[in-house]
Chains A and B, each alone.
Chain A
Amino acid sequence: MLSVRLRKQRGPFALDVAFDAPTPGVVALFGASGCGKTTLIDLIAGLLRPDAGRVEVDGEVLFEAGRADLAPERRAVGYVFQDARLFPHRSVLGNLRYGERRAKRRAPTASFEEIVELLGLAELLARRPHQLSGGERQRVAIGRALLSRPRLLLLDEPLASIDRVRRQEVLPYLERLRDRFRIPIVYVSHQFEEVLRLATHVVLLEAGAVSTQGDVASVSRSGALHTLLGPDAAGAVVEGEIEAVAPPGIASVRIGEGVISIPARRAAVGRRVRVQVRASEVVLAIEPPRGLAQANLLEGRIAALAPEATGSQLVEVDVGGPRLLSRASAERARELRLAVGQKVWLVVSSAAVRGDFPAS
């Protein structure tokens, strides 16, 4: 368990945050820039001193106002900075060994060779930081932090300083990192796609305070997130298992009691995937629609109704466990006389589905 309660006043900006997240796992701190994400992880790392609060990781208290305040160098908290911060006077190998050499008393996370292999660093060891691309630099920074045998890993928008194409040089490695090691990770981001791909728990920050938190699925249905992302991006995140792959590249994924087919690059029967289904692309019917392929037709009951600023309704439908969102315009919502508990059918167009990410 990662338990954080922190307060900090910085000039006019006040941060007051509390959350508990399961470990191991990836906690995504998500929010617009300036909402206090970096301040929060600086406080967790000990680079800033909180005014009050407590930070505990798996039973170890790193900070408790008036009682305990471990210096950053004693916290064993790995920090991957937005700008990597590799030491320019040391080679990649020298950077990697820096933290490792100072952490000999703790049990290793993994062997040097394993981490080098996982992050694809073998070719880079002799290079100097200025000879690396942005993506390579971040991978070295992640390796350096991992080798310092941390009990917690903080990643501050590790992809922010890398262009879109090069992000693919890092993202798959982050997934591997999450799945291979049992280190709790705090991942700061303002890109929802990264959260969708990596997070097990999401903490939504707004102006220095937590507006929503929970697992990815529940946060994906929250109004706070939709306000942040804009109405077009609203959509429920669901996970399911691939039941069949046919034709190649198209996977049938079981979502609750129904099946939707999605384009999937790495489809394999039995693999769990996580997808986001955009609310505006999900058509809602109050009678079973006819003349449609069985796939992409889901049956369920309305679990909640949330009016939006434009007058339309976001309809949350329980499809046998997982919940999907569908947007109904104001007129249509009136016409259908939707009510909680009502039985409905959802038609999910494949354009509604975003992402095909291995679920942790």
Chain B
Amino acid sequence: MPLLGELEREALRLSLTIALRSVVVSLPLATLAAWLLTRVRFPGRTIFDALVHLPLVLPPVVVGYLLLVAFGARGPLGGFLERTFSLHLVFTSAGAALATAVMTFPLMVRAIRLSLESIDPGLEQAARTLGAGPFDRFLTITLPLTTPGLLAGAITAFAAGLGEFGAVITFASNIPGETRTLPLALYTALQQPGGDAAAARLAALSFSLGLAGLLASESLARWVRRRMGR
């Protein structure tokens, strides 16, 4: 008997791809949000800060529901995406990735923000006196020095995204082969008589995945610190 059955393999594949897609989508946006929150004074900054953090405190079902309202076929954004890009989000893996991205967004912003705040603004000033304009400075000084935060944010968001449940099931439903990720498969197994063994295997799989993620993130962080000489 192979290590992983058909059921586990599919759930694992979906969990990994959906989490990965969510990270790819949210990383640039989270970087932008973190940069705005640390470097720019603008009206409504406090409200923006609260909005970014809202998914941390809202019940995930509420986030899923709000996504349904906004991105549903008749919602303001969903209708637009449907017409212009023929992009369906509800009940698709793309939708699951979106829900995951929204849920893990605050984690990512926090990690990047911490990293941004720890950069000595004097370094950007030094780059300025050496002839670097704003965009140049961002690309050559700020962004590379934020790498530890970007990596930490991406890994944390990815690991958390693997287990996103409430928002995904509400917005993208529980469709085998499309949106049935590890936690959803585990939940489904528990609903079925005799599904205990399958549930245990899925739980063990989630556990090892989470542990591997944490270890990887720790050793990556150490590697980055060594490179930066801290």
* Chain A residues within CB distance 8 Å of chain B: 45, 47, 71-79, 81, 83, 85, 87-89, 98-99, 102-103, 128-131, 144-145, 148
Taking a contact as CB atoms closer than 8 A, the residue among A45, A83, A88, A148 that contacts B229 in the complex is A88
Interface presence of B141 (CB below 8 A): yes
Decide: A99 and B131 in contact? CB cutoff 8 A.
yes
* Closest chain A residue, CB of each to CB of B119: A88
Decide: A89 and B129 in contact? CB cutoff 8 A.
no
Q: DSSP majority for the B interface?
A: helix
* Residues on B with beta carbons closer than 8 Å to the beta carbon of A85: 120, 122-123, 125-126
Q: Assess A130 versus B230: contact at CB under 8 Å? Given A87-B123, A89-B145.
A: yes
Taking a contact as CB atoms closer than 8 A, the residue among B122, B125, B144 that contacts A89 in the complex is B144
Decide: B229 and A128 in contact? CB cutoff 8 A.
yes
- How far, in whole Å, are A145 and B130 apart by their CA atoms in the complex? 7
Closest-CB distance, A180 to chain B (whole angstroms): 21
Decide: B126 and A81 in contact? CB cutoff 8 A.
yes
Interface presence of B69 (CB below 8 A): no
* Chain B residues within CB distance 8 Å of chain A: 120, 122-123, 125-133, 136, 140-141, 144-145, 147, 227-230
Decide: B227 and A148 in contact? CB cutoff 8 A.
no
Q: Which 7 A-B pairs have the closest CB atoms?
A: A130-B229, A102-B131, A99-B130, A85-B126, A79-B129, A72-B128, A89-B144
- How far, in whole Å, are A83 and B227 apart by their CA atoms in the complex? 20
Closest-CB distance, B111 to chain A (whole angstroms): 18
* Residues on A with beta carbons closer than 8 Å to the beta carbon of B127: 87, 98
* Residues on A with beta carbons closer than 8 Å to the beta carbon of B140: 98
Q: Assess A89 versus B227: contact at CB under 8 Å? Given A47-B125, A83-B122.
A: yes
- How far, in whole Å, are A130 and B229 apart by their CA atoms in the complex? 6
- How far, in whole Å, are A188 and B24 apart by their CA atoms in the complex? 48
* Residues on B with beta carbons closer than 8 Å to the beta carbon of A130: 228-230
Decide: A88 and B230 in contact? CB cutoff 8 A.
yes
